[in-house]
Structure 1
Amino acid sequence: MTPPAAGTSAILRAEARVLVRAEPGTVYDTVSDLPRSGERSRERTGGRRVSGTPRRVGAAGRGGAA
């Protein structure tokens, strides 16, 4: 675990690295697909877009948790 960046505070910060053999666009499309996120996680139940263009930088979403 690494300490919070200078000027920030955090209750918990975790970091992980995973090698994924796929094109960046494919990975981005997968991890940014909020409605289907519940299919890949026990903690998530899905989500919905609240602003911005889906699957674009800057888009915001709200998700549900189990």
Structure 2
Amino acid sequence: MTQGIDFNSPTWRAIETLAIQQLTTLREKNDSLTLDAIRTAELRGRIASLKDLLALGNPAPAQLADDGGHSY
């Protein structure tokens, strides 16, 4: 999915910076006590989408294979 994306490019760094700024803004809005459930859900969805975007540049380390419950 990330094939062909240069995560060290100035373009990616600009996208990353913008996404982090938007995350900060959305999180502040989400902290408002006046939001109804629908608006809160919408903000949380947008936050999740931005986090997914940012995660592209930080792939999770490979998980260790399950050892079948054995203790070595």
Whether the TM-score (by the shorter chain) exceeds 0.5 is: no
Report the TM-score, using the length of structure 1 for normalisation: 0.23
| Greater share of residues in helix | 2
Larger RCO, structure (CA 8 Å, separation 6 or more)? 2
| Greater share of residues in strand | 1
Greater C-alpha radius of gyration: 2
Report the TM-score, using the length of structure 2 for normalisation: 0.22
